Amino acid sequence: MAQESPYKEATIVRLVSDIYTTLIKLGYFEEEDNVWAPPGRHSLDLTGLDENARIDMRVISLMEHLPAMRTAGYGTPVVERMRTVNYLYNFDLIILDTTNALPTELQLLQGEQSDDPCLVLDIADIKTWPSLLLMSVRSSNVYTVDERGPWTLELRRQLIEDYGWPNDFRREDWKREGGDIAGKMLDASLAENAARVAAGARS
């Protein structure tokens, strides 16, 4: 007897929906910026796809049930150099069709530029599922997904201790101040790394 595939569409939809819900709570975007799948499914415009496009019907079905952003053509940045995908917008679907992906692969996050990283789910090999991102978002560790250094741990500490995440979260304060806090921490970290490299070159 063939072993049943571990892929469950409902599980993926629930997990991705959890990510979007958490990002809304964190102030990355507003509820009205997001389009949840209706009780049936999204209606996708597939007319822009190449007639020979090899896309697994399970991938099409998944796109029809995932949340999507209202912004056409350019989604919201979620982690560094990666953005949300708008499956409702024909241009994004064409991009998905021209990335040399396997028929069973779906980009959950696209690179902001052509050479930037992307987040891919292969429904034929569910063990490739990027659980790190899921766990990071759910644990309010969304800024540290790339593990760039201790400054991200400090940012997470401030999010929790100074801004009350998640139970007493001061969302509007974080929306107003969080970006500047993260930017200053990143700049300081980059300067520290540059100084360390320069010191090493002199030694």
Residue-wise pLDDT for 144-192, tens only, equals 334 445 667 788 889 899 999 989 999 999 888 988 888 888 788 778 8
- Residue 132: pLDDT band by 50, 70, 90 thresholds? very low
Residue by residue, what is the 3-state secondary structure of the chain? CCCCCCCCHHHHHHHHHHHHHHHHHHCCCCHHHEECCCCCCCCCCCCCCCCCCCCCHHHHHHHHHCCEECCCCCCCEEECCEEECCCCCHHHHHHHHCCCCCCCEEEEEEECCCCCCCEEEECCCHHHCCHHHHHHHHCCCHHHCCCCCHHHHHHHHHHHHHCCCCCCCCHHHHHHHHHHHHHHHHHHHHHHHHHHHHHHHHC
More confident: 20 or 117: 20
Write down the pTM of the prediction: 0.72
Q: Which pLDDT score, from 0 to 100, does residue 181 have? A: 86
pLDDT of residue 101: 67
Band (pLDDT 50/70/90 cuts) for residue 5 is low
- Tens digit of each residue's pLDDT (9 = 90 or more) over 55-78: 888 888 998 999 887 765 455 666
Percent of the chain whose predicted confidence (pLDDT) is above 70: 70
